[in-house]
Amino acid sequence: MSARELAEAVRAGSRSARQVIEEALARLDAAAPLNAVADHDAERALAEADALDAARAAGESLGPLAGVPVILKDNLWDAGVECSAASESLVGFFPPDTATVVRRLRAAGAVVLARGNMDELGMGSLTARSRFGPAKNPHDLRRSPGGSSGGNAALVAAGVAPIAIGSDTGGSVRQPASWCGVYGLRPTRGLLSRWGLVALASSMDTVGVITTNPEDLACCLDVMLGADPLDQTTTPRPPWRLDVALREPPRGLRVGLLITPGAEAAPEVSAQVQRAAAALSAMGAIVDGVRLVGLPEALLAYTALCAVEAASNLARFDGQRFGRPAAGDDAEAQARDARARFGDEVRRRVLLGHAIGADRHRRALAAQGRITEAIIGHLDHHDLLICPTTPTVAAHLDDAEAGRLADLFTAPASLAGRPALSLPFGVVDGLPVGVQLIGRAYGEEALFTAAAALHRQGASVPEAVEVQPRL
């Protein structure tokens, strides 16, 4: 059952919020083989559900997500709940406030079911580097769910909850959505508040959404967006209507099919992207091929810029303000002890960030400018661009090389600050394929129109491993 259907049932009284959450908790227990959960508090979730039922009984109107179970990534603040971002360095950190997007979800009636496993501090593409151990893909337990929001995508794909909230810096929502066969949205930067999100690379970090269909994606985005006085990078609510965009046919949409010399996806993945473009064309979209060169250079630029910003952001982890108190007689010793708790990948990226000199940083910024100019140039003539989300289907858990290249097609939209949506379209060897749509700034309407049209085509996605009862 979709989030929209669940909320309608709870508002109508045909199902209680407690019943919905009890069933979701049972599915959560059944999904234990995925190792996708960082933490959950059943009593708190049931108390939130009971409060919704009491409000309905008192005649109060409930919000658009009434009783809907939601998974939060373990890097989003929820006051009084440990937020470790899957890192030993943040064990014992209980945030003093709740992330703005989480407050808005609760105001819409959503119930926080659990916190999803992730790569430590958001650094990774396999959800393999976590203090909780590696998460697994619900379509094949030998494979990765992607990262760094892998636990969230796995739980949505397995039917545990219809919505998960993650973060996307270089593709951390879209890439796991692709590998798990669900929908993942990175909205235009500024639409969603970053207040209460543990920072990785602040110039590119955004909150993102994972669901099983475009309608739930639009509803969830709609209740979270808007200006936030706690985050000065946020923008006012746009005038568009996503519910209308979902019903519009793609007729007349101008779609650029990206041709990327030197950065091709696996042929079987590219074939599914071609099939999606052909489906849009058959429904009246105007599709033509456009060249986008420099993707390998853009990935290197993203890696460098992310490392520099991460090293700066993690300087605050000094053993005095976050997590367990560090050992040592002075501030320097305490900082060394605190940072010794970082995992190998985090240390590697921090060292890389400190090692990047001014000249290399300037070159990375120049490469970011070139890819941004190229994408914006194509979007001057197209409503959206279409390409693979990832070069391959889900990689095996120990395939570090596939993880390194997993952001090849997702990083450009992050560098350019443009919205992007990954949708499942087709199957290769029993594993889902993700197709990525990239739009203009605040051009989510076109993305949702195209995604909903392709969703109505009924593109086959394999069933996840059984964790019944499903939604």
Tens of pLDDT, residues 24-80 = 999 999 999 999 999 999 999 999 999 999 999 999 999 999 999 999 999 999 999
Tell me the whole-structure pTM to 2 decimals.
0.95
Residue 46: phi and psi, rounded to 5, are -70, -35
| Vertex 104: Cα angle to 103 and 109 (nearest 5) | 95
3-state class (DSSP) for residue 143: strand
> CA–CA separation, 226 vs 312, rounded Å?
28
**49 Cβ contact list (under 8 Å, min separation 6):** 16, 17, 18, 20, 21, 67, 111
Burial class (CB in 10 A: 0-12, 13-18, 19+), 321: exposed
Alpha carbon of residue 77 to chain centroid = 16
Other C-beta atoms lying within 10 Å of the C-beta of residue 161: 30
Q: Does domain 3-294+369-456 have CATH number 3.40.50.20?
A: no
Query: In this predicted structure, what is the pLDDT of residue 467?
Result: 45
Q: Which amino acid is at 352?
A: L
DSSP 470: P
3-state class (DSSP) for residue 471: coil
The residue assigned the tokens 């279409």 is: 386
> CA–CA separation, 101 vs 93, rounded Å?
20
Question: Please, are residues 49 and 67 in contact by the beta-carbon 8 Å criterion?
Answer: yes
Q: Which of 148, 178, 193, 414 is catalytic?
A: 148
> CA–CA separation, 351 vs 344, rounded Å?
11
What are the distances in angstroms from CA 132 to CA 115, 127, 136?
12, 10, 12
**How is 319-364 classified by DSSP, letter by letter?**
SSSSSSPPP-SSHHHHHHHHHTTS-HHHHHHHHHHHH--HHHHHHH
Give 97's Cβ-side CA count (13 Å radius). Answer: 9
Query: In this predicted structure, what is the pLDDT of residue 464?
Result: 55
The residue assigned the tokens 């049972």 is: 26
Q: Which of 16, 73, 144, 422 is catalytic?
A: 73
DSSP 197: B
Cα dihedral across residues 140, 141, 142, 148: positive or negative = positive
Other C-beta atoms lying within 10 Å of the C-beta of residue 396: 14
The residue assigned the tokens 């889900």 is: 394
Tell me the three-class secondary structure of 391-433, residue by residue: CCCCCECCCHHHHHHCCCCCHHHHHHCCCEEEEEEEEECCEEE
Nearest to 46 by CA among 22, 82, 23: 22
Euclidean distance between the first and final Cα of the chain, in Å? Answer: 5
Cα dihedral across residues 252, 275, 181, 124: positive or negative = negative
Q: What radius of gyration, in Å, describes the C-alpha atoms of the chain?
A: 21
* 172 classed as catalytic: yes
Question: Please, are residues 89 and 341 in contact by the beta-carbon 8 Å criterion?
Answer: yes
DSSP 38: E
> CA–CA separation, 80 vs 106, rounded Å?
15
> CA–CA separation, 406 vs 418, rounded Å?
19
Query: In this predicted structure, what is the pLDDT of residue 329?
Result: 67
Q: Which amino acid is at 61?
A: S
pLDDT digits (tens, 9 = 90+) for 169-195: 999 999 999 999 999 999 999 999 999
Tokens of 358: 């001014």
Tokens of 269: 């993945």
Q: Which of 16, 84, 172, 422 is catalytic?
A: 172
Nearest to 135 by CA among 159, 116, 114, 151: 151
Per-residue pLDDT of the chain (471 residues; tens, 9 = 90+): 899 999 999 999 999 999 999 999 999 999 999 999 999 999 999 999 999 999 999 999 999 999 999 999 999 999 999 999 999 999 999 999 999 999 999 999 999 999 999 999 999 999 999 999 999 999 999 999 999 999 999 999 999 999 999 999 999 999 999 999 999 999 999 999 999 999 999 999 999 999 999 999 999 999 999 999 999 999 999 999 999 999 999 999 999 999 999 999 999 999 999 999 999 999 999 999 999 999 999 999 999 999 999 999 988 877 666 766 667 767 777 767 777 789 999 999 999 999 999 999 999 999 999 999 999 999 999 999 999 999 999 999 999 999 999 999 999 999 999 999 999 999 999 999 999 999 999 999 999 999 999 999 876 555 554 444 333
Query: In this predicted structure, what is the pLDDT of residue 339?
Result: 72
* 148 classed as catalytic: yes
> CA–CA separation, 397 vs 393, rounded Å?
12
Query: In this predicted structure, what is the pLDDT of residue 468?
Result: 40
